[in-house]
A and B are shown apart, each in its own frame.
Chain A
């Protein structure tokens, strides 16, 4: 149609690329330019090019917070796997309509604002337990808020798993436990990796949960950045910290991608 070149105006609209323009503009304005600004602030000091902010950011005090955050994210991820995988597995074996109902219980709270939910936990933990303002409270808050992001990708891979693989394993002498270990688990790895990507990075960068439930005692990397930007108005320091976090996130994503490729196979069902 448009190849004939007879009607250029019509050609413009039949090129589907045109529909992406609004978002491209949006991306340039609100994602790409802030990134450039962060890079600019990270590499300047009082308007002049300088490494001082970055040098400060890789100082031991800051690195310790980063390591603390990573440790925290690791704990939460392990907890996610311990809770999330069995739930996803049970969901996948349920009758579809029951599974839809049960998964609604996970999804409905997600429609409520994340801060509201965390405030609710603060009230609950304060009233009924003595763990408020401890690391456990922060862990609990994270698990509660991010668990669905772990369950859903695993659930998706599990329900897409061709039942004939299970039958084949059974047929070849594997009982249900062996079938799970040798077939179901390896074939659901793409979902697990997808889930980890979905929860590990947000867990590393969160700040509201640790402030509300940790009472400022647990300082995560997100809190540090928040403090520099908002409390101290030190944009250069905040930007430098952000750049380091960004590098960590990109590294971990690259690592996941690689791990995903090595679990080869059509198990499919990665969310992103």
Chain B
């Protein structure tokens, strides 16, 4: 790997019929690195890959390769090859002809084609499979053929779109190692798309975490795991305890009423921040003499370790430990300073465009009218900006609600869950005490005195 920027995305945006897939993304890919685009489905990772492959064009921004804008270069002229999610191997050709496809088009002579294809078959451990048809191969073998078909063209960049998604766990683990070895041996830049955080951590040189078309964090696996930039990254990558705390001063936080030493600084005095503590970084100590203690509420054996939930008066810690503790036992908890990772708080407010109806004491937004106080001074039908704090959104049974939506995401923030709810065109953020399944229907209501209205 060297520091040359092979591919550079500059302020790239892409929308599909009004739905934003990528929003002002800036990213560079270094020559020879294994870069992973990681995020939940719909985060824009596949869109980014397809932009680089050339199957779609950006709405805005530039995509450069070796410093040259390639936005208008068709895919068949880019020195980039793709391993497709469902492989897209040609069913009318056998394995040999599938792999030879690109070489034949470039007019490479027969002998060279034969040599290169045979070498590729050997590289992906499929020697002697050239005459078989795609339908006669297992998923893992098809996967290898797809990789060989792309690599035989000696691309500068290999794009892989969730290539291991269709394989079973054991095969997936093996292929992860093989892919990584292959990449290091050939020195080709790999751009890998996955939603599997473990896969990303194992294989990558650089991880790019995406959410809703926006890059959340770019870093090495250790960076992203140990120093997540926000609660989303912390929650998405690995298990974590996320706790809203007060940063009293540099190197000092107050968490659940107890002051801890930490290693972070520069957030100012008495700042509201979030802290992430990885479950394996929390130590269980004898309750006697411990600064914080609680009751073990659940113990699950996970193979290498136990996953223990400890209730410390309102806050439940998730802890991974190799020592067995019994359910109901009272234990102490100790958190070393370097286990506390401070993140800037992401303050969320629900903002909507609305119309005021002061004569009726109502404001209309999200296609519904809501009872609202404090509309004095606005004209009837005036356009207004409506703000609702997540804590003021009440989640009720859908049959009792005027406004209903579906849960899009649910994230544990230590004392409560942060729920994203899709209501038609708009997303709402609300807090909940219990976990909610994605896709669950839920009703929303807001008390009349909790709707903030301001002029536009």
Contact = CB atoms under 8 A, between A and B. Distances in A.
Interface in A159-185: 162, 164-165, 167-175, 178, 182-183
B76 A171 contact: yes
The size class of the interface chain A forms with chain B is: 20 to 34
B23 to A, nearest CB: 24
B149 A165 contact: no
Given A173-B106, A175-B74, A168 B82 contact: yes
Main secondary structure of the interface of B (DSSP, over half): mixed
B133 interface: yes
B76 A263 contact: no
Interface stretch (A96-104, A219-227, A242-250, A264-272): A264-272
Q: Choose among A167, A175, A178 the residue with the greatest number of B CB atoms under 10 Å from its CB.
A: A167
A78 B53 CA distance: 39
B76 A173 contact: yes
Q: Choose among B55, B86, B153 the residue with the greatest number of A CB atoms under 10 Å from its CB.
A: B55
A173 B77 CA distance: 6
Interface string A223-258: 000000000000000000000000000000000000
Interface string A130-171: 000000000000000000000000000000001011011111
Given A264-B133, A266-B135, A172 B91 contact: no
A167 B55 contact: yes
Interface in A14-50: none
A185 to B, nearest CB: 10
B80 to A, nearest CB: 8
B88 A168 contact: yes
A172 B92 contact: no
Contacts of A11: none
Nearest to A171: B82
Nearest to A268: B91
A167 B86 CA distance: 12
A187 B42 CA distance: 31
B197 interface: no
A250 B371 CA distance: 77
Contacts of B91: 187, 264-267
Contact of B92 (A164, A167, A173, A267): A267
A263 B90 CA distance: 12
Given A167-B55, A264-B133, A172 B88 contact: no
A265 B149 CA distance: 19
A186 interface: yes
Contact of A172 (B54, B101, B135): B101
A160 to B, nearest CB: 12
B149 A167 contact: no
Nearest to A267: B91
A171 B49 CA distance: 12
B92 A264 contact: yes
A45 B411 CA distance: 89
B443 to A, nearest CB: 36
B105 A172 contact: yes
A125 to B, nearest CB: 42
B75 A170 contact: yes
A186 B55 contact: no
Nearest to B135: A266
Nearest to B161: A164
Contact of A168 (B54, B90, B133, B135): B90
B81 interface: yes
Contacts of B81: 171-172
A167 B149 CA distance: 14
Contacts of A267: 91-92
Given A265-B92, A267-B91, A173 B153 contact: yes
Interface string B267-278: 000000000000
Interface in B177-204: none
A266 to B, nearest CB: 5
B417 interface: no
A187 B76 CA distance: 20
Contact of B88 (A165, A175, A264): A165
The 6 A-B residue pairs with the shortest CB-CB distance in the complex, in nearest-first order:
A265-B91, A172-B102, A164-B88, A168-B88, A170-B75, A265-B92
8 contacts: A164-B84, A167-B53, A168-B82, A172-B149, A173-B76, A174-B101, A175-B74, A267-B91
Given A168-B82, A173-B77, 14 more contacts: A167-B53, A167-B82, A169-B101, A171-B53, A171-B55, A171-B81, A172-B81, A172-B105, A173-B76, A178-B105, A186-B92, A187-B91, A187-B92, A265-B133
Interface of B: 53-55, 74-77, 80-82, 84-86, 88-92, 101-102, 105-106, 133, 135, 149-150, 153
